[in-house]
Amino acid sequence: MKIFIEPSDVLMFRDGKPFSGGDDHYARGIFPPSPSTFYGSIRSRILSETFPQYESVKEGRIPDPVAREIGTPSTYGSLAITNFLLAQKTHKEVLPLFPAPKDIVRIKREDKKEEDELIKGKDELLLLSPHSDVSAKLRFNLSEPVLVPLWLKDERPLEEVSGFLSTDIMTGYLIGEVPDAIISSESLYVREERVGIKKDRIRRSAATGALYSVEYFRLKEGVGFCLDLNGVTSLPKEGLLRLGGDHRSAYYKETTFSMPSVGTIKRKVKENKRFKVMLLTPAIFNKGWLPDWVNKETGKGQVNGLELQLVSAAVGKPLSIGGFDLVKSTPKDMKRAVPSGSVYYFEHNEESAEEIFNAFWLKSISSEKQKEGFGITIIGGY
């Protein structure tokens, strides 16, 4: 089931750090938000339709048909997020927007002006790639597998690119083309800071000296989120959701949307005997930035019987993933996640690209929270 979610008002998606109004003065937001926020919202919506007995749910007393779909407070059901992206809705269709890959850079700007709606080719976007001839000239002292550096034969200073790619440009990127335009975040949403004050629940009044600020996100008209859900049968085709902090409302509706065509990508992966895996959503690994199935000493890994060799990686700064457990009324354990847009380069010996696509195309490689939509990947050639 594919759905498009469009907010009715501003949304609050806080980062994973604990926050208590009045004790802390600023609650910072995170965008794009964690997919677990949407997973919890959809579970709640299904629960309100099928078994709105919330105290019984907290105690784990849930009818079997409901539990099989949404799970219990301690287990998962069949419900799973298998795709999660920002999107724009036009009068004709829903257009997914992909996080900018971490191996795209641009010539560093001297003048830090406000971003245009499109970061265009005139800004000289460049694409990093592994260069084995460079690694032969460098020496490393690392406990991790020795990886091939991502390199450009350009002496000008570079900087990271943030933003989003359209489906057409993402398709070109996945076959090795340098993007000619990146959609800036400022053209899709704006940040708003709002002031609040902690309440004294005993005196039923505002607490003294307990002002704080919270960061909200206001999405531009037509901007929302597209999700692909598996294992769901009880979710109505359209309706309202309570989403994010403050339980702001959002409207969802069943829809369709298209992903990049895989035909050309498969041919490139097969011919070159190598491919790169990009995270569409954050991933949690037990080895930090390194997927669990990759050997730390050799860089070799095995997935679904495929023998792979990690060549290089472009990994962003880790995210703090937390949350609040409504059943236990306590904050959830903090997790460090590799951010979306991070890229891993592999070599393979497969005669066919089918097995590689079966293992990585819109599949989760996260060690945890797979059904919540973490670690969803897409692959391309290089």
3-state secondary structure at position 273: coil
pLDDT in tens, 72-81: 888 899 999 9
Q: Enter the pTM of the model.
A: 0.89
Query: Mean pLDDT across the stretch 298-317?
Result: 91
Q: Is CATH 2.60.40.4350 what the domain over 263-380 is classified as, yes or no?
A: yes
When pLDDT is averaged across residues 30-41 and rounded to a whole number, the result is 92
Helices (H), 129-199: 132-135, 167-173
| Minimum mean pLDDT range among 6-15, 109-118, 292-301 | 109-118
CA–CA dist 53, 76 (Å, integer): 19
Q: How far is CA 77 from CA 71, 99, 236, 330, in A?
A: 4, 28, 18, 22
The dihedral formed by the CA atoms of 92, 98, 99 and 101, expressed in degrees to the nearest 10: -150
Predicted local distance difference test score (pLDDT) of residue 149? 83
The pLDDT score that the predictor gives to residue 277 is 96
Q: What is the pLDDT of residue 230?
A: 96
* DSSP structural state of residue 375: T
Q: What are 113-143's pLDDT values in tens digits?
A: 544 555 555 558 889 988 766 555 556 555 5
| Spans of all domains in the chain | 2-95+187-254, 99-134+152-186, 263-380
Quote the mean pLDDT of the chain: 86
